[in-house]
Amino acid sequence: MPGRYKGDMSMPAILRGAARRALLMVFLCHAATVALAHEIHPLGFRELAWRVPHVARVTASLLDFQSGALVLSWSGLGQVTILDGRECLVGPYFLIDIDDAWAFDIDEPVTVKLELARGHGVLVSYDHASSAPVMRAVKAAAPGSTVEVTLDRARFANRLFAGSDLAIAATGAVYPYDPGAEHDVAICGMTLERGAPQSRLRAAPGRLVLDLVDATSGEPTAARVGLFDATGRMPLPSADAVSVRRYAEELRQIPVVTSREAWPAPGGYAFYVDGHYTADVPPGEYQLVAMKGPEYRLLRRTLQVESGSTTAVQGRLERWADAPAAGWYSGDVHVHITRREEDNPVVLGQMRAEDLHVTNVLQMANVMRTHFPQYAFGPAGRFQEHAHALVSGQESPRSGHRGHTIGLNGTRYHAPKQFFLYHQVAEALHADGGLFGYAHLLQDAFHVARGLALDAPLGLVDFVEVLQFGVVGTDLYYDMLNLGLRIAPAGGSDYPYIDLPGAARSYVHIDGPFTTDAWFDGLRRGHTFVSNGPLLDVDVDGKGMGGEIDIQPGGTITVNARARLNPDFDRLDRLELVVHGKVVATARAGAGAGAEEIRLTHRLKPDRGLWLAVRAYGKGVAVAHSAPVYVRVGDDPATFAVAEVPALVDKYEALLDAALAATPEPYEDLEHWDTGVELARQWQQQLPALREQAARARARLEEIRAASTVPQ
């Protein structure tokens, strides 16, 4: 999910305090009632009866992170409303499915005219012929006038959410929240006009037969594949492509957001192949791209498909690095796919193509209901082929008031009995042998800092999701480490909301053969690093990531670190050594295109305990961050940042006060159209117990403050 909404978090000035909350409750009661009358979808989908020429279906939605912008509704689910005697779409976001009989799988300009009943413009996203979805801002000449936009290279192949082709958002229905923006749009008419089609050969197709094998074993192997003509257009994949689950949809292709992950291909879409693929494609020259995660070299081929002929291609995927041979196995802590037992082979096919060894498939819940159900938990909910496994987990509890949590490797789903008392779920998971962590640390998403303030000082937090959206968010994580808390970093894609599985990875070190239990034990111990490409090695006097070192006062330690990066995806720019959140040494690639490998050696003479970590950056989007190594000096076990502790204790005690003083704002919850009324009710019921939890956290923070003032 995106980061916390920046700037003024309040609604417009006319809605303040109790009056604002009362109006929101009235509105949300209505919105929830309407939504619950239909099938519940995690994105709030609701099909609307609004008909204009060439439009087959209109779906109201509240969320879309793959539309060319981060679309979020701050109001309610859109609906059809009578304005001046006309049926109009009124709401934040609408998905438009163009009638396939009028336009399907085209490649030409399409002009869209929208009659607005109010507003200064709209945002229009559409299915582009070669790129991932593209969004255009369209301004109105005057409030409530007609706007017009021409969509170049419109594809209209039903590739947006809900099988749609274009989407229309209010200008303010995006992240970050702007209280002065227009959060709803009112559309009373739409006309569509096709332009001149791109010149394309109409000759009979040729047949492509593709076989992918692992270069080491010679066995067929799964991979992510792109096939692009000279314009970047990819033919629609055949039924041989691996089926991909996205919410309730079954897809054969999926967009890749290159601003957040390395996809060095000329087009913005991909499909998955499980070793063998056959398709009939238009004749012409194509660029074939196949990738299998950051440890394999990218396969590139130029091939010619002739009309009526068969083109056979065998591709050998060669390793660039063999992380498992050194004990490192990649995983993703944050994937959402509804999973029945019979779905396992198909779901694992996508994960093997991304070379993910442990995929944590999370059942997700809010205060009202559960989404992405898993058929079982514990050993019964695991599915493994060789060293690739699916494991059931949970993203629950989660709210916009104190953050989203992740529970891993529990033997059952731990439903929160009292929704806002997250610590009860953490304790249940720990008693069950599982791990408890917080998601979305970027920019304090969903007020996750409040959740950390309540649970982390009490030792309930095992890991935090710091890598997402192609960014490592370290501010809150460094706070925790500087308070002396030992918490592992984790990487999660949050598929299908944000990125493809494996776009954000947790590499975990295992001593001995691969097992899922060993992987979770390594994560618990902090033997891990997060990455969207670079591989890290850290040695501090014989100890690696998550290790502990004891030295005597006056002693020295030597840090040896290495970063490597597959040159097919990016080149390294620098490798940094961080101590207590501050960069103390940097090794750079130097001027030019960057490096495939960077090494760093640095000696330290600590006068008190500390934690240290390394982080690597590529010239493009590549980034990685290690778990800390902890250094204890003399008889003092503390590794906190002495100078930082007083201010950090003040900060997190203030967050405790803020969490208790504020009433949950319904619109801050991701599914606010469904949860708003119940959130407020349960908050009031559970506030006394939450105050007790806050008192325990405050007492522990004060203990940390006192310990930091003890002279060494």
Angstrom distances, CA of residue 446 to CA of 399, 415, 488, 530 = 7, 20, 20, 22
Cβ(147)–Cβ(121) below 8 Å: yes
Give the HSE-up count for residue 24: Cα atoms under 13 Å, Cβ half-sphere.
29
Confidence of residue 74 (pLDDT cuts 50, 70, 90): confident
Q: Tens digit of pLDDT for each residue in 242-251?
A: 999 999 899 9
pLDDT higher than threshold 60 for residue 679: yes
pLDDT higher than threshold 80 for residue 490: yes
Per the DSSP assignment, residues forming a β-bridge with 311 are 208
| pLDDT greater at residue 4 or residue 38 | 38
pLDDT at residue 9 in the model: 26
pLDDT higher than threshold 80 for residue 315: yes
Q: To which residue do tokens 């559309």 refer?
A: 187
Angstrom distances, CA of residue 580 to CA of 95, 356, 467 = 47, 31, 19
At residue 146, what is the residue type? T
pTM to 2 decimals? 0.92
Residues 6+ apart with CB under 8 A from 619: 570, 571, 572, 573, 589, 593, 594
At residue 176, what is the residue type? P
% residues pLDDT > 90 (the chain):
85
Residue 633 phi, psi dihedral angles, 5° rounding: -115, 125
- Which one, of 536, 500, 523, 513, lies nearest residue 355 by Cα? 500
pLDDT higher than threshold 50 for residue 12: no
| CATH code of the region 206-317 | 2.60.40.1120
Left (φ > 0), alpha (ψ -120 to 50) or beta: where does 684 sit? alpha
pLDDT at residue 56 in the model: 98
Confidence of residue 672 (pLDDT cuts 50, 70, 90): confident
pLDDT at residue 38 in the model: 41
- Which one, of 690, 232, 104, lies nearest residue 423 by Cα? 690
pLDDT at residue 198 in the model: 64
Confidence of residue 199 (pLDDT cuts 50, 70, 90): low
Query: Reduced to 3 DSSP states, what percent helix, strand and coil does the chain have, rounded to the nearest 5?
Result: 20, 40, 40
Cβ(491)–Cβ(439) below 8 Å: no
| pLDDT greater at residue 707 or residue 592 | 707
| Collapsed DSSP state (helix, strand, coil) of residue 91 | strand
Residues of the chain with CATH 2.60.40.1120: 206-317
Q: DSSP per residue over 305-326, as a string?
A: E-TT-EEEEEEEE-BS--TGGG
- Which helix (H) or strand (E) covers residue 112, if one does? strand 108-118
| Collapsed DSSP state (helix, strand, coil) of residue 373 | coil
Enter the tokens of residue 629. 């190594």
Cα maximum dimension of the chain: 83
pLDDT at residue 18 in the model: 34
Query: What is the rounded CA–CA span in Å between residue 1 and residue 14?
Result: 29
Average pLDDT of the chain to the nearest whole number: 92
Enter the tokens of residue 232. 């970047």
pLDDT at residue 213 in the model: 98
pLDDT higher than threshold 90 for residue 19: no
- When mean pLDDT is compared across 91-100, 197-206, 306-315, 514-523, the lowest value belongs to 197-206
- Give mean pLDDT, residues 263-272: 90
Cβ(125)–Cβ(119) below 8 Å: no
| Collapsed DSSP state (helix, strand, coil) of residue 82 | strand
Query: What is the rounded CA–CA span in Å between residue 201 and residue 505?
Result: 42
Expressed in angstroms, the distance from the first to the final Cα of the chain is 43
Cβ(405)–Cβ(397) below 8 Å: yes
pLDDT at residue 8 in the model: 29
Enter the tokens of residue 501. 């599985």
Confidence of residue 201 (pLDDT cuts 50, 70, 90): low
pLDDT higher than threshold 60 for residue 339: yes
pLDDT at residue 39 in the model: 56
pLDDT higher than threshold 50 for residue 35: no
Domain range 38-194, CATH class:
mainly beta
Q: Tens digit of pLDDT for each residue in 268-295?
A: 999 999 999 999 999 999 999 999 999 9
Residues of the chain with CATH 2.60.120: 38-194
- Give mean pLDDT, residues 408-420: 96
| pLDDT greater at residue 531 or residue 36 | 531
Query: What is the rounded CA–CA span in Å between residue 495 and residue 212?
Result: 25
pLDDT higher than threshold 80 for residue 10: no
Q: What is the dihedral of CA 610, 616, 622, 626, to 10 degrees?
A: -40
% residues pLDDT > 70 (the chain):
94
- Give mean pLDDT, residues 698-704: 98
Query: What is the rounded CA–CA span in Å between residue 456 and residue 122?
Result: 42
pLDDT higher than threshold 80 for residue 13: no
pLDDT higher than threshold 80 for residue 488: yes
Cβ(213)–Cβ(315) below 8 Å: yes
- Which one, of 273, 171, 279, lies nearest residue 220 by Cα? 273
Confidence of residue 712 (pLDDT cuts 50, 70, 90): low
- Give mean pLDDT, residues 385-402: 96
Cβ(128)–Cβ(150) below 8 Å: no
